[in-house]
């Protein structure tokens, strides 16, 4: 039997209502904040991610699904959304009016060749926003607020916002040097990746899971001691805005995030619901002044986030938040003989044209078995078509909740059903 490829999974009809619910809250909230949806291709030129995610990142060095197409082009299945959105922003010159904040959101599958575990797969789903064009710290606070509001609307309570600043270019440069000076003497004791990181992006040593317990980690210099005045003021402004908006946060000096292009604000939202497992980051984001230029656009700043939708579904389950399913049909048509069958099929289409969700039997079942099927599908009403009644231009309707059945004219079926549906839920 052929099964799903390693690292992928099917989202079955029995679970799809959770995804629809999540997607609808994401859409509604993003649009409330005046973000517009953008859909970019699933695959892009490999170069985009090398430039846009960063040569030294785990994503680029180890995790990309990269292949040559038949035209010998190097293609990569997108591992994340920001580089794609920024590519589109540059390609379509969405910056035409430079005094404008371009607010975009996306959702869809992403691909990373990672080690499998609970909450981590090779095809997963992210939603994210990108606010491109302004350097105002309030944009950072707004982006964070938007994500927190999505969590609130989903009903997730056991989540925490961790925030940090990486400062501007100048502060980062100073800090980078301090980290090199600090880790160089113990270079040989660090993992192979961190030895490389020391040359390429020493900040990311702080993120390393392998060297987490090394003594040099505990004594590593802190970014907060290397921030210049501008960077401090920027961060203060973001935090004050968050307080104004009633958003709780915790400053986490060790938070650096995996991607190369962040500066100033970085943040992450984690869940602390018991039993969630080690993959407890739901997502996060940060400011990426410099990325648009890196991808060939003008020097405009940006701020965004990305959250894992698969993990959000797991978090909903872990917090035992139930989502109603509308697993029911309005009408099930019971046909009593071959002669009533043609009319049953015609009626089915008429009901559907009138937005009444309807179903019938396709297996020549006996009447009793058709009623059983109606129950299985949680039908609100059954319509029973009998030969004699039909000759008199009549059919029967049965309310499956009250079990009350009455006879109506075949000329008013859709109106009768609509009327009864209004009363049904009262």
Binding region for ligand AMP (CB under 6 A): 80, 112, 114, 119-121, 124, 126, 258, 281-284, 306-308, 310-311
Q: Identify which of residues 158 and 237 has a Cβ nearer to ligand AMP in the complex.
A: 158
- Shortest distance (Å) from residue 402 CB to ligand AMP: 47
Q: Identify which of residues 221 and 258 has a Cβ nearer to ligand AMP in the complex.
A: 258
Which residue minimizes CB distance to ligand AMP?
A: 308
- Shortest distance (Å) from residue 394 CB to ligand AMP: 57
Selection from 310, 253, 244 nearest residue 281 by Cα:
310
At residue 293, the 3 state secondary structure works out as helix
User: Residue 102 pairs with which residues in a beta bridge?
Assistant: 132
Calpha distance 297→166 (Å, rounded): 23
Q: Identify which of residues 174 and 279 has a Cβ nearer to ligand AMP in the complex.
A: 279
Element (H, E) at 90: helix 82-91
Q: Are 296 and 83 in contact (CB under 8 A)?
A: no
| Helix ranges (DSSP H) in 112-206 | 137-154, 169-183, 192-200
Q: Identify which of residues 255 and 292 has a Cβ nearer to ligand AMP in the complex.
A: 255
Q: Identify which of residues 284 and 386 has a Cβ nearer to ligand AMP in the complex.
A: 284
- Shortest distance (Å) from residue 362 CB to ligand AMP: 39
- Shortest distance (Å) from residue 130 CB to ligand AMP: 13
Q: Are 266 and 281 in contact (CB under 8 A)?
A: no
Residue 335 is encoded by which pair of tokens? 């046909």
At residue 282, the 3 state secondary structure works out as strand
- Shortest distance (Å) from residue 323 CB to ligand AMP: 19
Q: Identify which of residues 98 and 116 has a Cβ nearer to ligand AMP in the complex.
A: 116
Element (H, E) at 376: helix 367-376
Q: Identify which of residues 193 and 330 has a Cβ nearer to ligand AMP in the complex.
A: 193
Phi and psi dihedrals of 274, rounded to 5? Answer: -55, 145
- Shortest distance (Å) from residue 288 CB to ligand AMP: 12
- Shortest distance (Å) from residue 258 CB to ligand AMP: 5
- Shortest distance (Å) from residue 270 CB to ligand AMP: 9
- Shortest distance (Å) from residue 58 CB to ligand AMP: 9
Q: Are 370 and 391 in contact (CB under 8 A)?
A: no
Q: Identify which of residues 113 and 343 has a Cβ nearer to ligand AMP in the complex.
A: 113
Calpha distance 287→135 (Å, rounded): 9
Element (H, E) at 46: helix 46-52
Calpha distance 132→301 (Å, rounded): 6
Q: Identify which of residues 121 and 201 has a Cβ nearer to ligand AMP in the complex.
A: 121
Block residue for tokens 């938040």: 321
Give CA angle at 247 (244, 251), nearest 5°: 105
Burial of 394 (0-12, 13-18, 19+ CB in 10 A): middle
């Amino acid at each position: 039997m052929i099964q799903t490829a390693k690292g992928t999974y099917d989202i079955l009809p029995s679970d799809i209502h959770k995804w629809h619910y999540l997607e609808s809250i994401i859409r509604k909230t993003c649009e409330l904040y005046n973000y517009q949806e953008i859909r970019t291709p699933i695959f892009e030129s490999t170069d985009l991610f090398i430039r846009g995610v960063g040569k030294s990142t785990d994503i680029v060095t180890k995790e990309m699904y990269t292949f040559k197409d038949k035209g010998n082009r190097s293609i990569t299945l997108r591992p994340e959304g920001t580089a794609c959105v920024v590519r589109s922003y540059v390609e379509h010159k969405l910056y035409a009016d430079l005094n404008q904040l371009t607010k975009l959101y996306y959702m869809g599958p992403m691909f990373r060749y990672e080690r499998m575990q609970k909450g981590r797969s090779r095809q997963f789903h992210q939603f994210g926003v990108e606010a491109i064009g302004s350097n105002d710290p309030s944009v950072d606070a707004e982006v964070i607020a938007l994500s927190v509001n999505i969590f609130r609307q989903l009903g997730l309570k056991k989540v925490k916002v961790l925030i940090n600043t990486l400062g501007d270019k100048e502060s980062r440069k100073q800090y980078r040097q301090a980290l090199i000076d600090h880790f160089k003497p113990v270079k040989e004791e660090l993992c192979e990746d961190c030895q490389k990181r020391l040359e390429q992006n020493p900040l990311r040593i702080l993120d390393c899971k392998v060297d987490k317990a090394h003594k040099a980690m505990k004594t590593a210099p802190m970014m907060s001691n290397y921030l210049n005045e501008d960077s401090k003021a920027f961060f203060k402004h973001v935090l004050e805005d968050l307080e104004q908006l009633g958003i709780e946060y915790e400053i986490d000096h060790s938070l650096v995030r995996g991607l190369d292009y962040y500066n100033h604000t970085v943040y992450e939202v984690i869940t602390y619901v018991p039993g969630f497992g080690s993959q407890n980051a739901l997502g996060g984001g940060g400011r990426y002044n410099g990325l648009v230029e890196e991808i060939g656009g003008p020097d405009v700043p940006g701020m965004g986030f990305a959250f894992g939708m698969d993990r959000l579904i797991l978090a909903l389950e872990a917090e035992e938040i139930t989502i109603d399913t509308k697993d029911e049909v309005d009408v099930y048509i019971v046909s009593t003989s071959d002669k009533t069958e043609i009319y049953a099929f015609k009626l089915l289409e008429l009901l559907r044209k009138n937005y009444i969700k309807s179903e019938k039997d396709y297996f020549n079942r006996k009447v009793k078995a058709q009623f059983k099927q109606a129950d299985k599908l949680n039908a609100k009403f059954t319509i029973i078509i009998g030969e004699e009644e039909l000759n008199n231009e009549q059919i029967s309707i049965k309310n499956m909740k009250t079990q009350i059945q009455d006879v109506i004219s075949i000329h008013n079926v859709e109106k009768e059903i609509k009327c009864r549906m209004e009363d049904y839920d009262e």
